[in-house]
Amino acid sequence: MAVRIIPLGGLGEVGMNSMVIEEDGRRVLVDCGVLFPNDQVLGVEVAIPDLRYLREAGGLDALLLTHGHEDHIGGVASLLREFPVPVYGTRFTLALVRGRLIEHGIDAELIEVVPRERFVAGPFLVEAIRVTHSIPDATGFAIETGEGVIIHTGDWKIDLTPVGGDRLDLARFAEYGKAGVVALLSDSTNAEREGFSISETAVAETFLRRFGEARGRVLVALFSSNVHRVQSVLDIAARLGRRVALAGRSLWNNTRIAEDLGLLHVPDGVIVESDLAGTLPPDKLIVLSTGAQGEPNSALARMATGDHPKLRVEAGDTVIFSSRAIPGNEIAVTQIANRLAKRGAVVIDRAFDPIHVSGHAQSEEQKILIDAVRPRHFVPIHGEYRMLQAHARTAMRMGTSPQDVFVIEDGEVLSIESGSMRLREPIPSGRVWLDARGGRDVSEIVLRERESISEQGMVIAIVVADRKTGEIVRGPELLARGVAHFDEGGPLYEAALRGARESLFGLSAPMRTMAQALEEALSWGVRQAFAHRERGKRPAVLPMAVLL
């Protein structure tokens, strides 16, 4: 029977990574991540892949996790609530997942895997292969199917001088390539960038220079999962005689987990509690902080506004943004940077120095992996469409036949049968927006209502009536938010009030004893005042009827 490759997320966007591998009616899922919203999606925290295909196809046998970034594990709680399957991953990845599952009260079978050791997951024999990324314990997977080996790289780069952790196991990829690989599914995030990515060691060297030049506090904003960068800061602090304060719960949690697992070494006496950090001379303190993406409630944001209870930023301090802004977050990051500058800090971002490097391979590294694996078929994954196309062009330059390179998006289906890969009928796919990670979904109707309110405002119409006689006891009363020219006593306000009254008193007394009838009349009456306005300028109307 054919083997099918079905992306539920991550192909056509950066985030929400989730890939189904299916054979003989059984299937495993590689990763289940989240996508963060842009300004057009209001009041939600994340999106997860639409899982309807798994429901309709008959369920899931196992979940394989490549590493612990949110765009790969952020949807695990939601997935396991519906499909309680075994979860396979490395120590650090499972430790991060375990904490999230405890928060949501979910009990799951978490099975630790070790690179180069095979294990059975669902219908497949699988091996984790070590890769280098911007988080410890990252792997790809070699999945043995009836049609041959499929390799899913996860996120990866080639770094010959990593800060902690192991190098990408290129030898093992090459061994699989020599034996034969039917399909390579490879990370495309930096496919448009020529050359090689910069080593994490370059960041450590820049930190050493910048920290040595600083005369005040040094504040480094970074992703809490970047344990290797945390290690660099701790080592440099010990060398320069500075102490390090950790600002942000996720940073504390990840540092503790990494230290407990032996993935992070904390020099004696370097870390200081936030309560004591404020008592240190400025030139003796380094602050590691979350909030590099401009999150409004982060430790960095609170320091920028002077609202942090224990840590502060003053004139002469140095602030380093050791990250790249996720698309859509640029404005929020700039706002925080400006607030920090107004407090007198010197703000440094990646435009000035290599204070951040990507965890994703660039084109020359991608050529090396393709040459090592020499797959029969190539499928670029993890990226926006232009990134997938760029990676496909690289594969073809490396000798892969154009008819064996498949650029697909979420919901499209690849089938491997008798050694040949073909595109099949797509399956239902999409995004499910959540108010919180692991929480309940937010419907499209709710999102459209939020968008309408944000763009056009809202009018609240209230009436109180006697539930027995239908007599109007109070109202109608109107309250507007975000509606232009709706001042009390003004022509638009009076027209809406008049419309509401006429509509209410047009109801019979028995009809006025029903809340639904009152609310429909209120809504219709208010809307008439806006009926002749230009298109797209009609506010949402929220009618409220109270029966006494």
Domain coordinates of the chain in residue numbers?
3-195+358-442, 200-348, 444-547
pLDDT number for residue 386: 97
Nearest residue to 138 via CA among 200, 81, 180: 200
Respond yes or no: is residue 137 known to be catalytic: no
To which H or E segment does residue 3 belong? strand 3-9
**For residues 96 and 335, which has the higher predicted lDDT (pLDDT)?**
96
**Closest listed residue to residue 49, CA positions, set 65, 26, 72, 68:** 72
Query: pLDDT value at position 452?
Result: 59
- Lowest mean pLDDT across 114-118, 328-332, 357-361: 328-332
This prediction has a pTM of 0.82
Please check the confidence at residue 370 and state whether its pLDDT lies above 60.
yes
User: 336 pLDDT exceeds 80?
Assistant: yes
Choice among 360, 377, 382, 391 that is catalytic: 360
Is the Cα torsion angle 196, 34, 98, 7 positive or negative in sign?
negative
CB 176 within 8 A of CB 375: no
Does residue 384 surpass a pLDDT of 80? yes
Residue 35 has pLDDT above 80, yes or no: yes
Torsion angles phi and psi, residue 31, rounded to 5: 70, 155
At residue 448, the pLDDT reads 58
Whether 470 shows a pLDDT value over 90: the answer reads: no
- Which entry of 50, 187, 349, 410 is annotated as an active-site residue? 187
pLDDT level of residue 330 (50, 70, 90 thresholds): confident
139-145/181-187 β-pairing: unpaired
26-30 and 18-23: which strand pairing? antiparallel
Does domain 444-547 match CATH 3.40.50.1820?
no
Query: CB neighbours of 398 closer than 8 A, spacing ≥ 6?
Result: 367, 370, 371
CATH architecture of 200-348: 3-Layer(aba) Sandwich (3.40)
> Which pLDDT value is given to residue 361?
97
104 catalytic residue (yes or no): no
| CATH number, domain 3-195+358-442 | 3.60.15.10
Q: Which among 121, 128, 68 is positioned nearest to 98, based on CA atoms?
A: 68
Q: What is the pLDDT of residues 121-151, one digit of tens each?
A: 999 999 999 999 999 999 999 999 999 999 9
On average, the pLDDT of the chain sits at 90
Q: Which of 15, 38, 32, 43 is nearest to 436 (CA)?
A: 43
